[in-house]
Amino acid sequence: MRPAHNIQVQRRVSNGEEDDDLLVIGIDFGTTYSGVAWATTEEFENDHINIITTWPGKGPEEGKAPTELYYEDETMMWGYDIPDDADPIRWFKLLLLKDEDLGPELCASEFILRGKRMLRDSGKTAIALVADFLRALFNHTMYTITKARGKEVVDAMRLHIVITVPAIWKGYARQAMETAAEQAGILYSRAAGETKLTLAPEPEAAALSTLSEPGRKVGKNDVYIICDAGGGTVDLISYQIDQTKPISMQEAVEGTGSLCGGIFIDEAFERACKARLGSRWNHLSDTGKKRIMKNEWEALIKPTFVPNLTHREYIVEIPAEAFSESNLNDFCKEPIIKNGRIHFKETHIQRAFIDSFEGIDELVARQIRMATRSGLTITGIILVGGLGASPYLYDHLKEQHGMKVLQSGGIQP
């Protein structure tokens, strides 16, 4: 077993008098959403992590901002600042990967084809898009930290930047991320000293945070599968607890991962809408399609859906532009369309999750098999990430694998 990295690395570099002027910034750069956490040496020692929850263009606090870009003339907009009627560039994180690593099925998916088309239209490379987003995210981060601590204090601190990357990424993709960070200006020289960059596997970034939550009971030699289910990738790795106060862990089973995250559930739902509407789908503008996916699906149905074998309907309002005035109803097949709304049944929604969940089940089963071969018994599964917040995935893993599942609560660093 080798030591876990990321949070332990951050804690190690923050110990000692020589690191009193160190500021650690953790960037969770995701396929669909990105977040930032930061702390000084003293705050690390007191287990106090600051999470950025205010974003340009957003009122209520949110733990993450959309990983989206929009270019208009000479202006670039990002995250929540993008107008509702715009069609932003999305999923550009996945475009850092070569086609052979995406696989034929994913390369042919509508989401990736759309992302590649937007990439061509922008006239930029995938690295340049990532750099533009990281630059905006980092500038907002430094602005937020400076507001909290003051310019003189921040200017006097050295920076250690930790960016999460999928565990399954190959060397070329990690190098592309490093290049993007350099192009973003994150590593510019500062009067306080050199800025250090670390790329940390995503599951490791969340493990200690979840296990350290109040009320968690962790025993020495417990073995947990960390399932980081994000927008694009799902990464798994198993750790054994070797110390409980403070918690430290050793890798017990090597990491595995697959491209079966939340956007593939989104794509399945979009296909269901497209299939039901038929030619009417083509009458929808990009704004209309975005309204269905963002407002109806991503905001309301997907994050709360749990099948409970009831007769509940999930009603999705379709923009009027898809219909002629005399054709707002269609009862010829299920799901029915009534008054310009698709009435999905529970089983219809459930189908959108099947392929993604099957991929996750295969990853979990593989971790369990490898642990068993090493003479280890899995204590439970720790579920983190955007898709990891799904109550349906939580219930599914408990039922499918017959073991304890921990789901992190609230906004996490």
Higher pLDDT, 144 or 212: 144
- For residue 202, give Cα distances in angstroms to 30, 138, 168, 191, 399: 10, 19, 10, 31, 25
Average pLDDT, the chain: 89
Tokens of 293: 């996916």
pTM over 0.75: yes
What whole-number distance in Å separates Cα of residue 44 and Cα of residue 40? 6
Residue 226 near residue 397, CB atoms below 8 Å: no
Phi, psi of 185 (to 5 degrees): 85, 10
For residues 271, 274, 276 and 278, what is the CA-based torsion angle, rounded to 10 degrees? -140
Count the Cβ atoms, other than its own, within 10 Å of residue 399.
9
Percent of the chain with pLDDT over 90: 67
Specify the range with the lowest mean pLDDT, choosing from 57-61, 180-184, 251-255. 57-61
In eight-state DSSP terms, residue 68 is -
Of residues 204 and 221, the one with the higher pLDDT is 221
| Residue 255 · residue 167 · CB < 8 Å | yes
- CB of 23 within 8 A of CB of 158? yes
**pLDDT of 33 higher than 60:** yes
CA-based torsion, 360, 361, 363, 364: positive or negative: positive
Whole-number Å distance between alpha carbons of 406 and 384 = 9
Region label for 374, one of left (φ > 0), alpha (ψ between -120 and 50) or beta (otherwise):
alpha
Task: Kindly tell me if the per-residue pLDDT of 167 is higher than 90.
Answer: no
Q: Which domains does the chain have, with CATH numbers?
A: 7-202 (3.30.420), 212-408 (3.30.420.40)
| CA 401 to each of CA 7, 178, 218, 236, 379: distance values in angstroms, whole numbers, following the listed order | 28, 37, 20, 15, 12
Is pLDDT at 1 greater than 60 in this prediction? Answer: no
Mean pLDDT of 145-153: 96
Q: Which tens digits make up the pLDDT trace of 347-391? A: 999 999 999 999 999 999 999 999 999 999 999 999 988 999 999
CA distances for 360 relative to 24, 171, 318, 356, angstroms: 32, 24, 31, 6
Residue range 129-137: mean pLDDT, rounded: 98
The pair of structure tokens assigned to 33 is 């959403």
Q: How confident is the model at residue 6 (pLDDT cuts 50, 70, 90)?
A: very low
